[in-house]
């Protein structure tokens, strides 16, 4: 049983969730707005937060930031409409545990809650995933990527891994460590996006008792924990300017000074950093120190977005189906042509993380051996159709075709892919619907 705070302004839906989760043994508190929820969060201890992305007085991110500043590392699940997925993936960078798209599927919700409760680690220290759960891919772009990794791994060079959210930067960092002389020593991964400004220095460099209010005992920092090994700083661009100065010093002088201590501790740590953004923009904006950037950027690895990985997409789909079969005790052996076509044509803004979530959901919703298109989020189809719309806005024929295509897609969704029903709703016969679907490439 877990104590869960739901922040959702749609009260009917919130009560539905409350009833459902109470029935599954959880204890639920409800809030409809962000501000009053802060009071609850400060006064009570929860095991999990389930938060709507759009709320009347803010967005789900505000709660993430609030918790981070208070040093609260309770997992957060963001509930978002599919249209907000692009921004929701950002919540992952900020330390939210997971997201789930609306309309919320009850089985999926239970699965996501179970995952986040079992992996309840402080969200700034990342949990390790078994190596067998990863594959490298076979495309030319994957070959080039792993050539670079093989080349730089055995050296002691600092590496910046750049890539969109969910492209597998942490996996790349772990691979670098495993292929280095430091493999027998610790690999410590820190999510700088989930660290509050105040806690970042203490987390990295440690502190002595009494260094600040709340420092009740001496604490070793992650630099010391990683001694002899590799320290992976994810979202390094989020470190404050003061911590950047301390980090630069640690790298240049190979010593750290815990907060409140006069002692210097020698450390031998290889630094690998990751960033979603081009840090050069942050340098130009004065938020990131140029000297630190050059110290960190002895070698740069660019991770490609999933939409540019060509044939790897299909490999990843099959890989995630196998993992999901194992984890969810399912037996999905194939994917229908319609569903496959959607998966291959969608542009995956949340990259491997989004793909893994969508496949997990698909497998969960497939009791038999063949996954069908209705196990995929409906909005994926709309998004794919919008991406492939032809013509410019001044081309009347193309515009009419676009409207027709969108209308057909949306009606098919409303009719739960029953084509006879969809044809009736569109006031055309089934044959015409089939020929139009074929013409517009609607799966």
Ligand X SMILES: Nc1ncnc2c1ncn2[C@@H]1O[C@H](COP(=O)(O)OP(=O)(O)OP(=O)(O)O)[C@@H](O)[C@H]1O
Site residues, ligand X (CB under 6 A): 92-93, 129, 134-135, 163, 165-171, 234, 274, 276, 352-353, 356
Q: How far is the CB of 180 from ligand X (least distance, A)?
A: 18
Distance of closest approach, residue 255 Cβ to ligand X, in angstroms: 29
C-alpha–C-alpha distance, residues 395 and 68, integer Å:
50
93 or 202: CB nearest ligand X: 93
Supply the DSSP symbol for 342: H
Return the number of the residue (203 or 234) whose C-beta is nearest ligand X: 234
Q: How far is the CB of 193 from ligand X (least distance, A)?
A: 8
Least separation in angstroms between CB 27 and ligand X? 29
* Between 28 and 161, CB nearer to ligand X: 161
Quick one: 174 or 405, whose CB is closer to ligand X?
Answer: 174
Whose Cβ is closer to ligand X: residue 101's or residue 409's?
101
For residue 231, the cross-strand partners are 188, 271
Beta strand pairing call for 27-31 and 3-7 = parallel
The tokens for 14 are 């919130």
As a whole number of angstroms, the distance between CA 192 and CA 200 comes to 7
CB closest to ligand X, residue no: 168
Q: How far is the CB of 147 from ligand X (least distance, A)?
A: 15
Closest to 383 in 3D by CA, of 417, 352, 410: 410
* Closer CB to ligand X, 38 or 134, in the complex: 134
What residues are paired with 275 via a beta bridge?
162
Of 166 and 221, the one with the shorter C-beta distance to ligand X is 166
- DSSP of 222-258, one letter per residue? HHHHTTTSEEEEETGGGS-HHHHHHHHHHHHHSEE--
CB 440 within 8 A of CB 406: no
In the complex, minimum distance from the CB of residue 93 to ligand X, in angstroms, rounded to a whole number:
5
Q: Which of 201, 194, 233 minimizes the C-alpha distance to 69?
A: 194
Minimum CB distance to ligand X smaller for 167 or for 385: 167
Please state, as a whole number, how many other Cβ atoms lie within 10 Å of the Cβ of residue 86: 15
Within 117-192, strands assigned E span: 159-162, 187-191
The distance of closest approach from Cβ of residue 356 to ligand X in the complex, given in angstroms and rounded to an integer, is: 5
In terms of Cα–Cα distance, which of 47, 56, 49, 55 is closest to 77?
49
Which residues lie closer than 8 Å to 126 by C-beta, 6 or more apart?
170, 189, 190, 191, 232, 234
> Min. distance of Cβ 149 from ligand X in angstroms?
11
- Closest by CA to 311, choosing from 167, 143, 139, 141, is 139
CB of 224 to ligand X, least distance (A): 24
Of 1 and 129, the one with the shorter C-beta distance to ligand X is 129
Strand partners, 58: 55
Grouping H, G, I as helix, E, B as strand and the rest as coil, residue 120 is: coil
Question: CA 180 → CA 150, 171, 224, 229, 303, distances in Å?
Answer: 9, 14, 19, 9, 20
For the bound state, the minimum distance from the C-beta of residue 3 to ligand X, rounded and expressed in Å, comes to: 26
Shorter beta-carbon distance to ligand X: residue 321 or 352: 352
């Amino acid at each position: 049983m877990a104590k869960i705070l739901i922040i959702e302004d749609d009260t009917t839906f919130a009560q539905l969730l409350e009833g459902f989760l109470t029935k599954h043994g959880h204890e639920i508190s409800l809030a409809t707005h962000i501000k009053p929820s802060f009071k609850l969060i400060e006064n009570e201890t929860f095991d999990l937060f389930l938060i709507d992305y759009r709320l009347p007085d803010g967005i789900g991110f505000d709660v993430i930031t609030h918790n981070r500043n208070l040093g609260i590392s309770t997992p957060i699940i963001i509930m978002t409409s599919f249209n907000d997925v692009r921004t929701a993936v950002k919540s992952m960078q900020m330390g939210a545990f997971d997201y789930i798209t609306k309309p919320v599927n009850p089985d999926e919700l239970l699965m996501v809650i179970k995952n986040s409760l079992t992996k309840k680690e402080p969200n700034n220290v990342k949990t390790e995933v078994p190596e067998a759960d990863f594959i490298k891919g076979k495309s030319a772009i994957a070959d080039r990527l792993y050539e670079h990794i093989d080349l730089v791994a055995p050296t002691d060079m600092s590496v910046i891994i750049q890539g969109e959210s969910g492209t597998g930067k942490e996996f790349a960092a772990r691979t670098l460590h495993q292929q280095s002389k430091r493999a027998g020593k610790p690999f410590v991964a820190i999510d700088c996006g989930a660290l509050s400004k105040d806690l970042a220095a203490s987390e990295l460099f440690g502190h002595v008792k009494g260094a600040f209010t709340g420092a009740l005992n001496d604490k070793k920092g992650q630099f010391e924990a990683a001694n002899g090994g590799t320290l992976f700083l994810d979202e390094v661009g989020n470190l404050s300017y003061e911590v950047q100065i301390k980090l630069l010093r640690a790298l240049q002088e190979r010593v750290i000074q815990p907060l409140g201590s006069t002692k210097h501790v020698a450390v031998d740590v290889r630094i690998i950093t990751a960033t979603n953004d081009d840090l050069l923009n942050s340098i130009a904006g004065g938020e990131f120190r140029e000297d630190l950037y050059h110290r960190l950027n002895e070698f740069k690895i660019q991770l490609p977005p999933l939409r540019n990985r060509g044939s790897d997409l299909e490999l990843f789909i099959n890989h995630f189906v196998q993992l999901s079969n194992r984890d969810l005790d399912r037996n999905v052996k194939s994917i229908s042509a319609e569903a496959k076509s959607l998966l291959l044509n969608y542009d995956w803004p949340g990259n491997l993380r989004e793909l893994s979530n969508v496949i997990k959901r698909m497998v969960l919703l497939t009791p038999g051996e063949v996954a069908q298109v209705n196990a995929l989020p409906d909005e994926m189809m709309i998004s794919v159709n919008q991406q492939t719309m032809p013509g410019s806005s001044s081309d009347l024929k193309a515009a009419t075709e676009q409207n027709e295509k969108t209308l057909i897609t949306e009606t098919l969704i409303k009719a739960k892919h029953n084509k006879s029903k969809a044809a009736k709703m569109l006031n055309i016969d089934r044959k015409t619907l089939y020929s139009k679907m074929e013409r517009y490439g609607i799966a």
